[in-house]
Amino acid sequence: MLDVVRSTDAASAAEASRARRPRPLSGLAGLVRRLAGTRIGLVGLVIVGLLSLAALSAPWLPLHDPLDLMMEHRLEPPGASFLLGTDEMGRDIFARLVWGARGSLMIGVLTVAIGLSGGLFVGTLSGYYSGTLVESVLLGLMDIFAAIPLLVWAIAIVGIFGTGPVQLGPLLLPNEAKIILLVGLLFIPGLARVAHGLALAEAKADYVAARRLQGAGAWSIMTSDILPNILSPIFVQVSVLIGIGIIIEASLSFIGLGVQPPTPSWGGMLADARSLAFSDEWWVATWPGLAIFLAVIGFNLLGDALRTVLDPRRRDGGPAL
Amino acid sequence: MWFAGRIVSSLAVLAAVSVVLFALTRLTPLSPARIVLGADATAEQIQAFEHDRGLDRSLPAQYSAWVAQLPRSGFGQSYITGRSIDLELLESLPVTVELVAVTFLLTLAGAVPLGLIAALTEDRWPDHLIRMLSLMAVSVPGFWLALILIRVFAVKLGWVPPIGITPLAEGWYAHFTSLVLPALSIALYYIGALSRLMRAAVIEVLGQDYVRTARSLGLSRGLVARYVVKNALPPFVSVAGMSFGYMFGWAIIIELVFNLPGLSRALLTAITQRDYPMIQATVLVVTAMFIVSNLVADLIQRLLNPRLRHA
């Protein structure tokens, strides 16, 4: 970064004074400050922040071992020794919730990372080369992808390939890797369609024509001109999609096709609690469900705030699932 | 003419999807022969099994053979159970379709009025309340909601059976009430999402010049409301149609919780048995439903909006 404050010549001083005024989107810190300025954004930031903190610091928190089967303490109600009670196998629910947050958040964030990079790549490329074969091939491919009901395909594909780990060169990847890749791929068409529409408009703009006259190559125009300009309306969707990724992961884990036991996961904990649906141990099924609810509502609030801050004219979208 | 083109492109997409699905079920790490014959089978037995069922041929050859037999013998037989896949689907599909249909009606009954009320009271308390509730609704995982609903309405209050489906033979009312909890478990998410969409669509129409003109001309409130709803519906319809298709995915999860004998049982059983032809058929049927519901939504949208018809 340019150190504008210490520069002495007039031009830099003018630049410095301009830099001190709030700019529309001045990096991540500025965005966070503007999000925190809205009420829903603040609540969303607090929820997502606390959950991420808990997930990241899980190994250093004074928690019970989430895998420890304390059969003598099975189904203990919430209390002093077990904050949120224990499950049917005598495992501490609070510890399992905190450790479960790691998988949920990681899968949510990584699926969207894949969807976002794929969507931006396809969208920018097809928007820039509009009217050519590149556009029709890419959009046709996206139409096929978009005709896929996401959840059923995720269930079926994990079902076909099994829930075991995958050997990838020297790496032994757990089932989570499969889910991240799958759901990430299935996120691409929706994001690509939005990115395509935006890139199409940008590619026709005068400044792109000017850049072309300057002799800029297609790749350089796409990456340094079009991409930065279409980023914020796309970015609005990121938070909501992370929430959807979390729900999909929890659903898959719930039916036994997601995170594999004994690794703690919120969906898996609810699957264990199913057998207790009729008994009085209300806490076993309550906490993991609340955890999913809290995480998803946090990302949804953040998504609403992002829309207000970055793209106020755009109206609410429909369900993505 | 437009519709014919749309049907052709839908069929092309379905064909492409079936190729992807076919390839996926053939790229499995474990040969179906190994699953059926067990770990003790000799290499010759495996070879004979694969040869009998054409599994040793190239992928394109296998695909064209599969397509060729579709009109004659449908999806054929499962390797594992030996049962006809068509029969299996004929038993389970109606359950899921009925559940999704009830879910869809519940969704419309909730989302349309709530969206309208929110739009008409924009930025006043009913709007704030509805928006807050809809935000919560889209954040509740359906299978957790299902567990809560079972506990409250079936176990504690005893109003409805906790699991299973009451056959139609025992009366309409009993049959319908046994579907309410699973349908509600799926619908809540869509009521939240679609009421937000309805609200946004109505607010957009309310801001149009022709609505202001109609109001200033002193047209009755009822007449203005009719204009507004008629013009707000097209964007709503297309998303509602897509939601109808998505609901099949959630039905797979929710049917498991309520132990309903629908596609969920067929698919999940096929997955545990590694019954690839059955998985393939189930997913293809759900995908076809999804494509058809999008097609129907497009058609309705066009009928509602004359401008699209002449485009």
Q: Please give, rounded to a whole number of angstroms, the shortest distance from the CA of A4 to a CA of chain B.
A: 43
Average pLDDT in the B220-237 region? 84
Secondary structure element (H or E) that encloses residue A171, with its range:
strand A171-173
- pLDDT band (50, 70, 90) for residue A167: confident
Q: Please give, rounded to a whole number of angstroms, the shortest distance from the CA of B293 to a CA of chain A.
A: 11
R_g of chain A computed on alpha carbons = 23
R_g of chain B computed on alpha carbons = 24
Residues whose CB is less than 8 angstroms from the CB of residue A133 and which lie 6 or more positions away in sequence, other chains included = none
For chain B, what is the total number of helices (H) and then of strands (E)? 13, 0
DSSP state for residue B61 in the 8-state scheme: H
**pTM given for the model:** 0.88
Average pLDDT in the B53-68 region? 84
> Tell me: the pLDDT tens digits for A181-220?
989 998 999 899 889 989 988 888 888 888 888 888 888 8
Share of chain A above pLDDT 90, in %: 29
ipTM of the complex: 0.89
- pLDDT band (50, 70, 90) for residue B132: very high
Residue B305 in tokens:
């909006």
Q: What pLDDT does A21 receive? A: 46
Contact A187, A115 (CB under 8 A): yes
Q: Which residue of A has its CA nearest to B281?
A: A156
Among candidates B29, B136, B141 on the partner chain, residue whose Cβ is nearest the Cβ of A250: B141
The A residues from 132 to 171 touching B (CB cutoff 8 Å) are 143-144, 147-153, 155-157, 159-162
- pLDDT band (50, 70, 90) for residue B308: low
What are residue A92's DSSP bridge partners?
Answer: A86
Q: What pLDDT does B74 receive? A: 82
Contact B114, B134 (CB under 8 A): yes
- pLDDT band (50, 70, 90) for residue A7: very low
What are residue A166's DSSP bridge partners?
Answer: A173
B contacts of A137 (beta carbons < 8 Å): none
Among candidates A152, A156, A318 on the partner chain, residue whose Cβ is nearest the Cβ of B197: A318
Q: What pLDDT does B126 receive? A: 94
pLDDT higher than 60, residue B293: yes
Secondary structure element (H or E) that encloses residue A173, with its range:
strand A171-173
Q: Is B62 exposed, middle or buried (0-12, 13-18, 19+ CB in 10 A)?
A: middle
Contact B246, B235 (CB under 8 A): no
Contact A199, A134 (CB under 8 A): no
Residues whose CB is less than 8 angstroms from the CB of residue A197 and which lie 6 or more positions away in sequence, other chains included = A123, A127
Secondary structure element (H or E) that encloses residue B116, with its range:
helix B85-120
Q: Please give, rounded to a whole number of angstroms, the shortest distance from the CA of B271 to a CA of chain A.
A: 5
Average pLDDT in the B59-65 region? 87
> Tell me: the pLDDT tens digits for A236-268?
889 989 999 999 999 999 999 988 888 899 999
Q: Where are the alpha helices (DSSP H) in A222-265?
A: 227-254
Chain B interface, best mutation among A152, A251, A278, by max B CB count within 10 A: A152
Q: Is B72 exposed, middle or buried (0-12, 13-18, 19+ CB in 10 A)?
A: exposed
B contacts of A239 (beta carbons < 8 Å): none
> Tell me: the pLDDT tens digits for B146-157?
999 998 898 888
| Whether A300 contacts chain B with CB within 8 A | yes
Residue B290 in tokens:
């999804």
